């Protein structure tokens, strides 16, 4: 299986090997900006969509068909496994987790996930997709990084500053650490199960890792992300480590691991690669808001990013964060075409 995967430019780029043209996919590429997605969502709630393999597979394929991207990403959400740990989850439309985790007793009450039993629909979606995607594009599985999952679990929802999480971290570091260990244990079995079901690469989303100082990232995030990534090393598939807002601490992100480091737009590819060195690939890093602009501006920005990479192997083109719901689909398709045409 692994040797077959080498036929894909996306997998080659993850391993730093030469490609015929720069592979491109977009974080959150299945979603509300696509009328085809909204049509399905008129009839089915988001969580139900995630739990229905035929429908989850269908929306996973939409951006592959509509945009011509070089990889598919499983349709699910980073918070799906948290429900099985024992918090109630609903979307309205932003996620809410109840009750929030605040005390040692709350942490002790959480269970570690058993993937085949708790999230069979995720594994069935992957198996279904592998059959449908064979010979087309590879399939990326994903999970939240322990820190980003802890942010939602402690806060009980999204937040601007995640002060409940920070309060726990600074007031009860031993409770915080116990929570992080438990989430890491869950993430290891969850991502391993995705790979065993057929995911050909795995991406770790640390959407909130950048809200901490580098020193606190090193103390309170890095050890857990490193344990997660190290534990998945024997799978032999590319691991992509994306930490939003981490331009000023890429050395630490890279110490935590990943063959591919995801970049947001706060750092240029050239500088990032100086910090990261030869042995890791990079993924990124167009500001998602550029897709709201004119097509000549999109083309100029694609050219700039490709120029910053200067033809070095090991670049996967992507946005620096998820695609915005307001983006015209034709601009997303234009972006993919630009990357292929100009690389």
Residues labelled as active-site residues: 28, 32, 41, 77, 152
Q: Does 176 bind ligand CP3 (CB under 6 A)?
A: no
Show the DSSP H helices in the chain as ranges.
2-5, 9-14, 35-41, 46-50, 53-67, 80-85, 104-109, 115-118, 120-133, 146-155, 163-171, 173-197, 214-220, 222-231, 250-256, 269-276, 295-309, 329-342
334 near ligand CP3 (CB under 6 A): no
Does residue 27 touch ligand CP3 according to CB under 6 A? yes
Query: According to the binding rule CB under 6 A, does residue 30 interact with ligand CP3?
Result: yes
Report how far residue 60's alpha carbon sits from residue 158's, in angstroms, rounded to the nearest whole number: 24
Choose the stretch contacting ligand CP3; rule: CB under 6 A; options: 24-32, 116-124, 212-220, 257-265.
24-32
Closest to ligand CP3 by CB, 8 vs 205, is 205
52: tokens are 């229905």
178 binds ligand CP3 (CB under 6 A): no
* Residue 299 CA from chain centroid, whole number: 25
Could you say whether residue 245 binds ligand CP3 (CB under 6 A)?
Answer: no
Instruction: Give the three-state DSSP class for 31.
Output: coil
Interface with ligand CP3, residue 93, by CB under 6 A: yes
**What is d(CA 248, CA 212) in angstroms, rounded to the nearest whole number?**
11
Tokens read off for 232: 């998945």
CB of 73 to ligand CP3, least distance (A): 4
Using CB under 6 A as the binding rule, whether residue 77 contacts ligand CP3 is answered as yes
Strands 139-144 and 95-98: unpaired
Residues 180-219 that bind ligand CP3 (CB under 6 A): 205, 207
Residue number, nearest CB to ligand CP3? 207
Residues of this chain that bind ligand CP3 (CB under 6 A):
27-32, 41, 46, 73, 75, 77-79, 91, 93-95, 142, 158, 205, 207, 322
């Amino acid at each position: 299986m692994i040797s077959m995967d080498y036929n894909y430019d996306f997998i080659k780029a993850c391993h730093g090997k030469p490609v015929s043209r720069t592979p491109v996919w977009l974080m959150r590429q299945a979603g509300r900006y696509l009328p085809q997605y909204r049509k399905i969502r008129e009839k089915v709630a988001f969580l139900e969509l995630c739990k229905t393999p035929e429908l989850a597979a269908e929306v996973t394929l939409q951006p592959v068909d509509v945009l011509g991207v070089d990889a598919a990403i499983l349709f699910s959400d980073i918070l799906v496994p948290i429900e099985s740990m024992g918090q109630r989850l609903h979307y309205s439309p932003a996620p809410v987790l109840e009750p929030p985790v605040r005390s040692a007793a709350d942490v002790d009450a959480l269970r570690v996930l058993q993937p085949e039993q708790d999230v069979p629909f995720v594994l069935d979606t992957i198996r279904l997709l592998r059959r449908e995607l064979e010979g087309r594009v590879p399939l990326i599985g994903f999970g939240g990084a322990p820190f980003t999952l802890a942010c939602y679990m402690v806060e009980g929802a999204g937040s601007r500053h995640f002060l409940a999480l920070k309060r726990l971290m600074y007031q009860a570091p031993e409770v915080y650490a116990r929570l992080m260990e438990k989430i890491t244990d869950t993430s290891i079995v969850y991502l391993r199960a995705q790979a065993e079901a057929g995911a050909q690469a795995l991406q770790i989303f640390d959407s909130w890792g950048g809200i901490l100082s580098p020193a606190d990232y090193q103390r309170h995030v890095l050890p857990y992300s490193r344990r997660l990534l190290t534990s998945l090393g024997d799978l032999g598939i590319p691991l992509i480590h994306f930490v939003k807002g981490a331009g000023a601490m890429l050395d630490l992100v890279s110490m935590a691991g990943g063959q591919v480091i995801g970049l947001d737009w706060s750092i240029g590819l050239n500088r990032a690669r100086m910090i990261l060195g030869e042995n890791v690939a990079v993924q990124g890093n167009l500001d998602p808001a550029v897709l709201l602009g004119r097509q000549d501006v999109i083309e100029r920005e694609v050219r700039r990013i490709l120029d910053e990479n200067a033809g070095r192997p090991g670049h996967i083109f992507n946005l620096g964060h998820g695609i915005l719901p307001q983006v015209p689909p034709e601009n997303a398709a234009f972006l993919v075409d630009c990357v292929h045409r100009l690389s």
